A and B are shown apart, each in its own frame.
Chain A
Amino acid sequence: MGGIRKFIENAGWPRIIIGLFLFSLFIIAPFVRVRIDASVSDTLVRFGMNGVMVLAMVPMIVSGCGLNFGLPLGIIAGLLGAVTSIEIGIPGIPGVLIAMAISLPIAVVLGWGYGLLLNRVKGSEMMIATYVGFSSVAFMCIMWLVLPYKSSNMVWGYAGKGLRTTIAVEGFWHQAISDIGSFSIGQFFYVPTGMFLFFALLCGFMWVFMRTRTGTAMTTVGSNPEYARASGVNIDRMRTLSVILSTVLGAIGIIVYQQSFGFVQLYMGPFYMAFPAVSAILIGGASVHRASILNVIIGTFLFQGILTMTPSVINSMIQTDMSEVIRIIVSNGMILYALTRTVKVKP
């Protein structure tokens, strides 16, 4: 009995409730003729797709910069890398690596500027971050049209210039990472092993980083900036570093997402990308200034699981197609729920 209570205390009620809800959806699924193997596979794929972007939340949270609502900035860096890689036209793993290599310096520069901005608005980072995300997306809506990309796979057919809203990566590096060591059982069950390994690699990198001298200093800056300063830590530099790290992970995250999804979504595509990542990490048990890698893994799994299962199960139950409506209600409802959970831990 004591063991159960301790488990509940450690996991926290929200996770247990959501976990039980997800579990019950899996139980109901066969009865409403939703294939359980396909559902599980979908959940796993979505988990792998979104994991890195959720991980991108961690550095900024621990350094006290709050939730990275400016994730679209990192995503834009990733998109630039992706379209440039497609323009170059090298397929497979090298193509993905080129995309990442190109997006990396862009993300570092953008993250650096974003970090400097956030250092000027200490205390209201999250609101400013939201607007940084939105306005950068709007700015890029112009740039996607203007940038001199030529590949016929990407530009508008009638004009011969300007990038299309959705670009297929089929034929370049569709599932290049996912397919490393991947396997299928039957027709519907597919496990993207490579994507999991890649995510695990980044998680491992983050785990180690958080234990280095710099990572420790970053956590301390988030916990008590004055204490950190008195111990000789440059607060602004640590914060900027954390923002750069978040932005870079955002860039890598979107490339992982695209190679699995099969499409590069430009223009308004990144607009709402921050919200699922934010709600996933909050559901995973993180607060506005405390997050761990375990929070990332649990949160991504629960959030994406619910997001996958609820529409399909409920659709089958009520016999009409309103999956998109349900998905919006569920995902935003969970953000709302998660944010109200965190209000009380704010200082």
Chain B
Amino acid sequence: MALEPLLNVRGISKSFNHNKVLKNVSFSLEKGKILGLVGENGAGKSTLMNILFGMTVIHETGGYEGTISIEGKKVRFASPFDALEAGIGMVHQEFSLIPGFTVTENIVLNRESTKYNFLVEAYGDRMKTLDREDMDRRSREAIGKLKVGLDPALAVSELPVGYKQFTEIAREIDKENTKILVLDEPTATLTESEAEILLDTMKRLAALGISIIFISHRLQEIMDVCDKIIVLRDGEVVDDTTPGETNIMSIATSMVGRDITTAFAGKGTRGRNLGEVILRVEHLWVDMPGETVRDVSFQVREREIFGIGGLAGQGKLGITNGIMGMFPAGGSVFFREEPIRLNDPTSPLEAGISAVYEDRRGVGLLMEEPISWNIIFTALQMQERFLKPILGGLVRIRDESEITRSARNYIDMLNIKCLSENQRVQDLSGGNQQKVCLAKAFETKPRLLFVSEPTRGIDVGAKRMVLEALRKYNEEYGTTIVMVSSELEELRSICDRIAIIDSGRIAGTLPASAPSRDFGVLMLGIDGREKKVV
């Protein structure tokens, strides 16, 4: 090609603490084209965009390898200001608008049109007054390019979510030199009709010569508007294609289709000796912020390992929290045909259900207390174990020697690296903290164990330990396990069946041996809307 592409990214690699999140990523983007960027959570999309936008977090963690050039010139942004200067605009998932200001004020923020007055002579440019008329003209012009009916005089706090998104985009357009616009999941918070307007707008902007990088989980949108599609998986570009050459199914496959043998030795479809239905969940809803569960029904059999997967924010974490009584919930849950009282954390615990929560520091651990306390507390509280009578049986106090014995037992069993059982949990590494959480759940001798994101934020070795401990526990004690995880391959490696949650509902339940592209289809919610593809 004779013409140099507008944006050329070559061989980008980035690691956080020896953990490679981007491996030799290369792509290019021509003027006035739309690039779709897709990938699972944690595939490296955000890191890539942070590098492109010169976020300081990248420098603080040791910079990156590879080169980025814009219009043929090599650039290396030290801060987002440099990126803005070079013509990159970014619209984040979270809005960065000032709620009390009007649309106009937000659009021209810090680039206001100003008028001269005599004070400028004395105090400099800071004393210039705002040229409201010109600001209004500019915001109308920017909104005009979007072709949406947005009143520039309205306060942002009064706008519906979709219009806030448009305000952000208008702000980026108003910057005279914006050449590249990055939209990070702009449609996630929009209704379908709003999303359509946004997609139209994107096409129009592209026609005006602005290049767009569009990140979305909704593959149909990607197929509709993009000129080019990049699929990231585990920090690598696994597919660089165009909508004409591919279809949703093959994108879904390349997104999730990791080689199963690399995860860790799968157990195969050996004859598992499962019992009766032990847990029955009917029409469960949970009001957990960011993880709303709308209507979920499923059954788990005794000794089964049941997986719950899905993309972030679809509600998979809400299920555990709802059943365990941590967030307001409704519907009915039966354990061994006995009803579990929702919204009451003691009810599931009494029935013999324990949970390892995804929020280790917030819910899972007493950071300032010793390991031993963390492990035995639930058992002490709910089952009144680890107590010994004193004063002739008048009161019962903690049996410290029994507590120490139990803690040491788990430290050996799970290989928790620590100085002693009296070490405070906050001094442990993430993986060892997770093992303490597991030990706490194991110590309650549960019949059913919920495990949420057990391997989030821990290194590969600890990951393996944790998964092996779970499977061993399941095999030795016949404990039923419900495991919630964002990592599909992890679920597939130990679960019997896996349910995929989408928009707070179960999109489908498949045996773990089903091909990964089937899971991908369920995860991306293309099953309902795009029947014809399947």
* A interface with B by C-beta (< 8 Å): 208, 211-213, 216-217, 220, 223-224, 226-227, 229-233, 290
Contact = CB atoms under 8 A, between A and B. Distances in A.
Interface string B361-404: 01111111100010001101110100100110001111000000
A307 B50 CA distance: 59
Closest 4 CB pairs of A and B: A211-B397, A232-B346, A231-B378, A226-B363
B352 interface: no
A101 to B, nearest CB: 21
B382 A227 contact: no
B349 A231 contact: yes
A227 B397 contact: no
Given A220-B377, A227-B363, A229-B326, 17 more contacts: A211-B398, A212-B396, A213-B380, A213-B387, A216-B381, A216-B398, A217-B381, A224-B363, A227-B366, A229-B345, A230-B326, A230-B357, A231-B382, A232-B345, A232-B346, A232-B350, A232-B381
26 contacts: A208-B397, A212-B396, A212-B397, A212-B398, A213-B380, A213-B387, A213-B396, A216-B377, A220-B366, A220-B369, A220-B373, A220-B377, A223-B367, A226-B363, A227-B364, A229-B326, A229-B345, A230-B357, A230-B364, A231-B345, A231-B377, A231-B378, A231-B381, A231-B382, A232-B346, A290-B368
Contacts of A208: 390-391, 395, 397
B355 interface: yes
B142 interface: no
A230 B397 contact: no
A230 B368 contact: no
B363 A230 contact: yes
Contacts of A227: 363-366, 377
B367 A230 contact: no
Contacts of B448: none
A232 B382 contact: yes
B6 interface: no
A226 B367 CA distance: 12
B324 interface: yes
Interface residues of B, number: 31
A89 to B, nearest CB: 35
B445 to A, nearest CB: 14
A224 B267 CA distance: 38
A270 to B, nearest CB: 32
B67 to A, nearest CB: 44
Interface centre among B350, B355, B365 (most CB of A within 10 A): B365
A223 B366 contact: yes
Nearest to A233: B381
Contacts of A220: 366, 369, 373, 377, 381
Contacts of B359: 226
Nearest to B397: A211
A224 B349 contact: no
B368 A223 contact: yes
Contacts of B367: 223-224
B395 A212 contact: yes
Nearest to B363: A226
A213 B384 contact: yes
Contact of A230 (B345, B350, B384, B395): B345
A230 B381 contact: no
Contacts of B381: 213, 216-217, 220, 231-233
Contacts of B398: 211-212, 216
Contacts of B345: 229-232
A233 B396 CA distance: 18
B369 A223 contact: yes
Nearest to B382: A232
B448 to A, nearest CB: 15
Contacts of B397: 208, 211-212
A94 B453 CA distance: 62
Nearest to A217: B381
A231 B324 CA distance: 10
A61 B230 CA distance: 55
Contacts of A216: 377, 380-381, 398
A231 B349 CA distance: 8
Nearest to B367: A224
A224 B366 CA distance: 6
Contacts of A223: 366-369
Nearest to B349: A232
A211 B395 CA distance: 10
Contacts of B368: 223, 290
Interface in B61-106: none
A106 to B, nearest CB: 25
Interface in B326-371: 326, 345-346, 349-350, 355, 357, 359, 362-369
A191 B366 CA distance: 43
A213 B378 CA distance: 11
Nearest to A226: B363
A224 B378 CA distance: 13
A81 to B, nearest CB: 26
B98 to A, nearest CB: 26
